[in-house]
Structure 1
Amino acid sequence: MLTTTYVPGAPNWLDLGSPDLETSRTFYAAVLGWEFRSAGPEGGGYGFFTSDGKTVAGLGPLDKGARPAWTVYFHTADADATAKAVESAGGRVRVAPKDVFSHGRMAAFTDPTGAEFAVWQPKETGGLEAVAVPGSLAWTELYTTDAKAAKDFYRAVFSWQMDDKEMGEGLTYALLRPSGGGPGTEHGGLMQLLPVNLEAGSTPEWHPYFEVADCDAAATKAVDDGAATLIPPTNAPGIGRFAMFLDPVDALFAVLQSDRRGQGGQTGQTGR
């Protein structure tokens, strides 16, 4: 379960790199009820999505050469040490550790299978102000071309604990927990991309699930406002009901109507 009591290795920030900020603001306002607050002239176009007055995500201009995507950030007590750990484990530093004014310190990486992620070392800004409630981050998930290599990498970098759950037909879903976390502290999942997804052009990536009160209603609204459906509303026994989309700027995201609000868990399907 995600919580705003952040510990090392847990998701603590999330932002969208978009080539069209107005389109992204309008879409997520319609689908998730978010409002947008600019970071000001010094923010370079960056700003914050809020829900009920609490920060639930960030939004900024797309970096040159990057593709539209949501980036998941994980808590670190030392971004510089994490950068060294990433390189030692076979990953790549895309953005070297740097201060973001007085808010905190960040760095961005690519894991050995090609999935991009980032870390946030809190200072004045501890992280997202709401998670695991409707309109906020509910779960994180990694699709990878090499599950074993990915597991080895993230264990080395974050000391994550992982529990494999068999899904049938030879498929395994790994539940991810911060170091020392017991049952109920799961914050994400990891699974191997299927051949059909690779043939369709899928590549390794992290993506978010956002909690919603009604999966079907959110799915209908997403499509009406320009999203493309990858997985239609689907029941995940013991977890809830979820759906996955490409938003109007082609960033992948999913929605989750939890059976037990905010518990999260494996969905066990890949969308592309």
Structure 2
Amino acid sequence: MTDLLPHHHTTLVTGATQGLGRGIALDLAARGGTVLLHGRDAGRLAAVAGEVRALGAGGAVRTYAADLADLDEVADLARRVRDAEPRLDALVHNAVAGGGADPLVREVSAQGHELRLAVNHLAPYALTRGLLPLLTVSAPARVVNVASMGQEAVDLDDLLYEREYEGLRAYCRSKLALIMATFALGEELDGSGVTVNALHPAHLMDTAGVRAYGLTPLVGVEEGVRPTVRLVTDPELAGVTGRYFDRFTEKRAHEQAYDVAVRRRLMALTDRWVGAPVPGV
């Protein structure tokens, strides 16, 4: 095994009970690191925690249940992790709301935000903000946002997608919003010891979300695990921040991501909805 991690190296992986998130958690655990598993279902969390322990690689495993479609639960998750964990070396935002089984049905979060935007953009941003104190004292630390090559320009006049809704397009808009937040946080935190990067892990992996939308998987989950774990562990990426990667290669995202005025407007709305909590900083 290459790139072994010290047992104290701690990574929180959201959406760790299946698919890519489970694969990332098992890979990091096999390297000897401590993994914090997030999911919505306590039974599934316990099952993956059991798989981690069966590896016998030496790192600890702890579980955190929360529904990322509720910003109150996101804030509570951040509080629980801050209170319980001595350090946090990496935060992998993998949990996702896909296109939906019925893409013409617009769903909303607990706070009334469009569901894809809430889970794929607002929740990762809020959780990063909430965990910044722990990430900062653990620095150097890394935030990895699992985005997608599927990106569509956001409509700032209809950010909650109340007109002519379609689930896959909502997903693509939310992933571009996540990338814009990556760039914004990368700039803000530059020099703090906390880096923030985003990536497209692999195309059409064999996950429940891909199958639920009726798409045919092209590659196994392991194809997405490797480039994601690289952003967590590769020493050559120390200090690299505010970038978007297509698997292992830095690429340009959708052109809208580089429009500073749009990005500022998006983040102003995001901060308003999230409350931009930065406890202890």
- Shorter-chain TM-score above 0.5: no
Structure with the bigger percentage of helix: 2
Structure with the bigger percentage of strand: 1
Structure 2 length-normalised TM: 0.34
Structure 1 length-normalised TM: 0.35
